[in-house]
């Protein structure tokens, strides 16, 4: 009978954890979706000061109920060069404070009589949220319904976990086994491993709270398990950084070092307290005396105090921590564009697809990089055509291959991202982004045409006249000026830059007409070979069309 009872309790615990995890995911995804623009602006503003970074990390994580999602966002910003490593460190510090809000929600859910507890009240929100999500016509209302449903399910999962713990509490063998685990290091390790498996410190802390309330563990045991959960929570950021750049890996390392350091600090504090009190006082007794009769509050408050104290200690050491992880995780070597086989995306990481708000930002960063590469190859092609110096031919071809690969890989990435829950703004942006990368790929094609003209000139043993070369250089300068305005408009939505890009496009069109007219005159007076004239006219047209494709990108900012 005990075996059957234990099996039932174990299955109830697993069901409760599953519902709790789904609830956290629903709340996080819908909160990100409804506030993606604000979240991007919030995290981007962390650059203003380190203290503000801590506050933003705490508030942002409390809002989306996921320190893992916050850390992944920060890794994405660092990977894209939007945030420095020091700024990322402070946001990560704050995220550890913000994530403790879940423990207080759980503690609140365990308050009340059996007749009408807060768990029952909040669980009823599931029905309200589900009706909103199914019946509402507005996408925004449906998203809010998803948030409310997730909130309600959080307490359903909590109720099932709590019930299972009450079941375990009736089994003498379980109580005896748990009571025998006194080793703090073993409890910390257990908490870290279990959290790494379920990838949620919130769930692990919630399980510890329900065990504590059921009398299965002491407060000191719960404290050790909670400290271990902080270390285990780092697995999310570590996974997200695996395929990212050096700074992303450093951000994950900061997260891990911060939590390990916090655990070491509190273990030392606990040992000192025991030594000074001859074993009469422990961390558990301190928080137990502070909140008598409320074990759920005792552990929830400890979780918050643990992270707040860790931040207070780590904050003034931010620069030293950054310097340490910079040495610990060196740069990966040559830049991607310097490697012939480098055809993978630099910023858009599949790990970021789980956090659409940051994945969209990474798409924009990747497109900006692709635009830089396209302009670089266009300039290189014009140099080859005017100088007939083919020393960079291999480099040109490698860059063209990279452009084609980026076009394909980014298209696949955006297709996967479009299947995520996106707000209307991000969905519209991604739809336009397909045309943007196509425009950039076409710029690359025009550069290929120009190099082919250079091949034809070399084969015919002719070259452009000095006046023709001077006009090509004027066109190149104009395209580069136009590109600078396009990039400003695209990245920052600068309408003035967009307007200047349109003006430069008109000037480019006029210059292309002048180039055609001038070369016809040179053909007429016999100062230009026919072979050169044909290639020159085609080149002027290709440069003008490349400028048009760049301007199309500026229109996305409208």
Q: CA Rg, the chain, in Å?
A: 30
Query: What DSSP designation does 349 have?
Result: -
* Three-state DSSP class for residue 233: coil
Q: Which two tokens stand for residue 108?
A: 């609140």
> Are 252 and 241 a contacting pair, CB within 8 Å?
yes
Minimal CA–CA distance to 222: which of 158, 167, 178, 262? 178
Residue 141: count other Cβ atoms within 10 Å of its Cβ.
13
Round to whole Å and give the CA distance between 434 and 412: 10
Q: Which two tokens stand for residue 500?
A: 């200047």
Round to whole Å and give the CA distance between 465 and 514: 15
> Are 101 and 27 a contacting pair, CB within 8 Å?
no
Round to whole Å and give the CA distance between 275 and 269: 10
Quickly list H helices, 329-423.
356-387, 393-418
User: Torsion angle of alpha carbons 526, 531, 532, 538, nearest 10°?
Assistant: 120
Which burial class, exposed, middle or buried, applies to 406 when counting CB atoms under 10 A from its CB (0-12, 13-18, 19+)? Answer: buried
Round to whole Å and give the CA distance between 302 and 295: 11
Which burial class, exposed, middle or buried, applies to 279 when counting CB atoms under 10 A from its CB (0-12, 13-18, 19+)? Answer: exposed
Query: What DSSP designation does 137 have?
Result: S
Query: What DSSP designation does 182 have?
Result: -
User: What was the pLDDT predicted at 101?
Assistant: 81
Distances (CA, A) of 89 to 50, 73, 318, 346: 9, 12, 7, 21
> Are 288 and 298 a contacting pair, CB within 8 Å?
yes
Round to whole Å and give the CA distance between 226 and 213: 15
The 3-state secondary structure of 394-407, one letter per residue: HHHHHHHHHHHHHH
- What is the separation of C-alpha 151 from the centre of its chain, rounded to a whole number of angstroms? 24
Name the residue ranges covered by the structural domains of the chain: 2-328, 350-555
User: What was the pLDDT predicted at 340?
Assistant: 37
Which helix H or strand E contains 18, and what residues bound it?
Answer: helix 2-34
Note every long-range contact of 458-461, with CB atoms under 8 Å and residues 24 or more positions apart, other chains counting: 458/388, 458/390, 460/529, 460/531, 460/532
User: What was the pLDDT predicted at 508?
Assistant: 92
Kindly give the confidence (pLDDT) of every residue in the chain, 558 residues in length, as a single tens digit, with 9 standing for 90 and above: 467 766 777 788 788 778 877 876 776 667 656 555 565 566 656 556 677 878 878 877 776 656 666 776 777 667 656 677 888 888 888 888 887 887 777 777 666 544 445 667 777 888 888 888 887 877 778 888 887 887 788 778 767 776 776 666 566 666 676 667 778 889 898 888 888 877 677 778 888 888 888 888 889 998 998 899 888 888 767 776 766 667 778 888 898 999 999 999 999 999 999 898 888 888 889 998 888 888 888 888 998 999 999 999 999 998 899 899 988 888 654 344 443 334 478 878 776 776 777 788 888 888 999 999 999 999 999 999 999 999 999 999 999 999 999 999 999 899 988 887 777 788 888 888 988 999 999 999 999 999 999 999 899 888 888 888 999 999 999 999 999 999 988 888 888 989 999 999 999 999 988 888 887 777 666 666 777 878 888 899 999 999 999 999 988 754
User: What was the pLDDT predicted at 393?
Assistant: 92
CATH tag, 350-555: 1.20.58.220
Residue 107, CA atoms < 13 Å, CB-side half-sphere: 19
Round to whole Å and give the CA distance between 20 and 164: 14
Residue 127: count other Cβ atoms within 10 Å of its Cβ.
12
């Amino acid at each position: 009978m005990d075996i059957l009872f234990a099996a039932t309790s174990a299955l109830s615990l697993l069901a409760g954890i599953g519902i709790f995890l789904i609830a956290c995911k629903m709340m996080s995804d819908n909160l990100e979706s409804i506030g993606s623009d604000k979240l991007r602006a919030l995290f981007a503003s962390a650059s203003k000061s380190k203290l503000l970074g801590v506050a933003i990390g705490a508030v942002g994580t409390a809002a989306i109920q996921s320190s893992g999602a916050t850390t992944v966002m920060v890794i994405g910003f660092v990977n894209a060069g939007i945030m420095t490593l020091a700024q990322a460190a402070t946001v990560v510090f704050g995220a550890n404070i913000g994530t403790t809000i879940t423990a207080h929600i759980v503690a609140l859910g365990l308050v009340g009589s059996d007749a009408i507890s807060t768990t029952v009240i909040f669980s009823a929100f599931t029905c309200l949220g589900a009706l909103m999500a199914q019946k509402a016509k507005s996408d925004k209302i449906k998203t809010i319904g998803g948030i409310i449903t997730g909130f309600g399910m959080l307490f359903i999962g909590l109720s099932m976990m709590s019930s299972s713990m009450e079941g375990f509490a009736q089994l003498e063998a379980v109580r005896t086994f748990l009571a025998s685990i006194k080793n703090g290091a073993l409890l910390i390790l257990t908490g870290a491993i279990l959290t790494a498996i379920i990838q949620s410190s919130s769930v692990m802390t919630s399980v510890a709270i329900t065990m504590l309330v059921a009398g299965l563990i002491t407060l000191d045991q719960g404290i050790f398990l909670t400290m271990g959960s902080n270390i285990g929570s780092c697995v999310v950021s570590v996974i997200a950084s695996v395929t990212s750049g050096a700074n992303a890996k450093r951000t994950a390392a900061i997260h891990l070092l911060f939590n390990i350091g916090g655990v070491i600090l509190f273990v030392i504090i606990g040992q000192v307290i025991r030594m000074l009190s001859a074993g009469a006082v422990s961390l558990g007794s301190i928080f137990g005396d502070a909140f008598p009769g409320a074990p759920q509050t005792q552990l929830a408050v400890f979780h918050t105090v643990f992270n707040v104290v860790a931040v207070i200690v780590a904050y003034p050491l931010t620069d030293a921590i950054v310097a340490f992880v910079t040495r610990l995780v060196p740069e990966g070597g040559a830049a991607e564009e310097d490697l012939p086989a480098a055809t993978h995306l630099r910023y858009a990481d599949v790990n970021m697809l789980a956090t659409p708000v940051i994945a969209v930002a990474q798409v924009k960063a990747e497109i900006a990089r692709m635009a830089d590469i396209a302009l670089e190859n266009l300039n290189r092609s014009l140099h080859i055509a005017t100088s007939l110096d083919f020393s960079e031919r291999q480099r040109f071809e490698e860059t063209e291959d990279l452009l084609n690969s980026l076009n394909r890989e980014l298209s696949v990435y955006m297709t996967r991202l479009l299947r995520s829950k996106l707000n209307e703004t991000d969905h519209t942006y991604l739809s336009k982004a397909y045309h943007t990368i196509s425009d950039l790929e076409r710029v690359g094609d025009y550069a290929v045409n120009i190099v082919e003209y250079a091949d034809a000139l070399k084969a015919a043993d002719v070259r452009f006249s000095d006046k023709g070369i001077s006009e090509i250089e004027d066109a190149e300068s104009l395209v580069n000026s136009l590109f600078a305005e396009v990039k400003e408009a695209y990245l920052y939505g600068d309408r003035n830059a967009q307007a200047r890009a349109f003006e430069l496009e008109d000037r480019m069109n006029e210059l292309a007409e002048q180039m055609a007219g001038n070369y016809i005159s040179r053909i007429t007076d016999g100062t230009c070979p026919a072979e050169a004239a044909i290639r020159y006219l085609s080149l002027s047209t290709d440069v003008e069309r490349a400028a048009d494709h760049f301007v199309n990108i500026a229109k996305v900012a409208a």
